[in-house]
């Protein structure tokens, strides 16, 4: 043995506050090789070894695994490189912990049954890429083979759910409902019928059909709002007048607004386009992304459809 001060594992434990068992484990793993041994074979450590032990403890407290600690000690990787890697890993771990917390908060709020808890955790754990892929596949199905306004449907596809790393229970609940909605076969079929209806009208009325129809709908909806506020029924004189306005303004390219077949086709098409689940889709997406809320237009849409049906006779 040399003459420099050396310490047994027990003495190292007292000086560093680490358990003897932990120091022995680090030594057995090669992270803390002994400086010397007594005649009886007990391990001894000098001041350099003590400093090395403090470094090992620091790296472990920062969350580095034994392999990375060894790489740092042997200079196979710099502390900076390992720190960058570990920060990325910690960020992902923190993100997942926040999502788990959000799931538990939502479970507590809803008093969810076991089956719902499993579904909530599965949907909450989806990555941003998985959520975007879910929407891309949905809209690809909605427009396949149809002649539609490319700018309009690009806006539809580009609006993606951006669930925060630390969502509120309301945002998490909105995402779960949203994910279930876009995977629902009936909703798929409804939006596909809506897309097919718009495609037919675009072929017949030209590429600017969508913009014109949106402008007209806003005017019709405003009149429906006034009627609802006045307590008027869809089969009132005001309702019949609005219905005739809609039939007339929608009858472009030589269509006869009085044609019973066209009037029924238009009414059915507008009913297809007024599925309340379509509005729910956007409300949920807005809640997930923290967008400003907007008032529902379903009451106006239902009043207009009822007025059209009443005018069919």
Quote the pLDDT of residue 1. 46
Quote the pLDDT of residue 306. 97
Rounded Cα distance between 259 and 246, Å, is 13
Counting as low any pLDDT under 50, the low residues of the chain are: 1-2
Quote the pLDDT of residue 91. 79
pLDDT in tens, 163-221: 887 788 788 889 888 988 999 999 999 999 999 998 888 888 776 766 788 899 999 99
Quote the pLDDT of residue 288. 93
Rounded Cα distance between 291 and 297, Å, is 17
Give which of 198, 177, 174, 118 is closest to 287, Cα–Cα: 174
290: left (phi over 0), alpha (psi -120 to 50) or beta: left
**pTM: predicted TM-score of the whole model, two decimal places:** 0.67
Quote the pLDDT of residue 21. 95
pLDDT in tens, 161-173: 988 877 887 888 8
Quote the pLDDT of residue 119. 67
Rounded Cα distance between 9 and 126, Å, is 47
CATH number of 7-74: 1.10.1660.10
How many Cα neighbours within 13 Å face the side chain of 287?
18
| CATH 1.10.1660.10 domain locations along the chain | 7-74
Quote the pLDDT of residue 163. 84
Quote the pLDDT of residue 154. 85
Quote the pLDDT of residue 205. 79
Q: For the chain, give the secondary structure using H, E and C.
A: CCCCCCECHHHHHHHHCCCHHHHHHHHHCCCCCCCEECCCCCEEECHHHHHHHHHHHHHHHCCCCHHHHHHHHCCCCCHHHHHHHHHHHHHHHHHHHHHHHHHHHHHHHHCCCHHHHHHHHHHHCCCHHHHHHHHHHHHHHHHCCCCCCHHHHHHHHHCCCCCCCCCCHHHHHHHHHHHHHHCCHHHHHHHHHHHHHHHHHHHHHCCCHHHHHHHHHHHHHHHHHHHHHCCCCCCCHHHHHHHHHHHHHCCCCCCCCCCHHHHHHHHHHHHHCCCHHHHHHHHHHHHHHCCCCCCCCHHHHHHHHHHHHHHHC
């Amino acid at each position: 043995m040399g003459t420099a001060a050396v310490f047994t594992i027990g003495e190292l434990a007292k000086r560093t506050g680490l358990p003897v068992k932990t120091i022995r484990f680090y030594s057995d793993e090669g992270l803390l090789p002994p400086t010397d041994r007594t005649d009886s074979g007990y391990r001894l450590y000098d001041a350099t070894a003590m400093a090395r032990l403090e470094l090992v403890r620091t790296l472990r407290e920062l969350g580095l695994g034994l392999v990375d600690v060894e790489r740092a000690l042997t200079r196979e990787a710099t502390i900076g490189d390992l720190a960058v890697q570990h920060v990325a890993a910690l960020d992902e771990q923190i993100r997942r912990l926040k999502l788990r917390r959000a799931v538990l908060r939502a479970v507590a709020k809803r008093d969810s049954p076991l089956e719902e808890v499993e579904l909530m955790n599965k949907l909450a754990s989806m990555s941003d890429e998985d959520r975007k892929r879910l929407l891309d596949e949905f809209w690809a199905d909605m427009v396949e083979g149809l002649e539609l306004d490319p700018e309009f449907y690009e806006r539809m596809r580009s609006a993606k759910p951006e669930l925060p790393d630390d969502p509120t229970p309301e945002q998490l609940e909105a995402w779960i409902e949203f994910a279930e909605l876009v995977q629902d076969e009936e909703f798929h079929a409804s939006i596909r019928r809506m897309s097919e209806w718009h495609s037919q009208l675009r072929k017949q009325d030209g590429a600017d059909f969508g913009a014109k129809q949106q402008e007209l709908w806003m005017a019709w909806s405003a009149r429906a709002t006034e009627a609802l506020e006045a307590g008027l029924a869809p089969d009132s004189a005001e309702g019949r007048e609005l219905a005739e306005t809609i039939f007339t303004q929608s009858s472009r390219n030589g269509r006869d607004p009085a044609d019973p077949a066209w009037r029924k086709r238009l009414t059915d098409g507008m009913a297809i386009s007024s599925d309340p689940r379509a509005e729910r889709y956007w409300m949920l997406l807005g809640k997930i992304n923290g967008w400003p809320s907007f008032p529902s237009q379903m009451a106006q849409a239902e009043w207009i459809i009822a007025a059209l049906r009443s005018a069919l006779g």
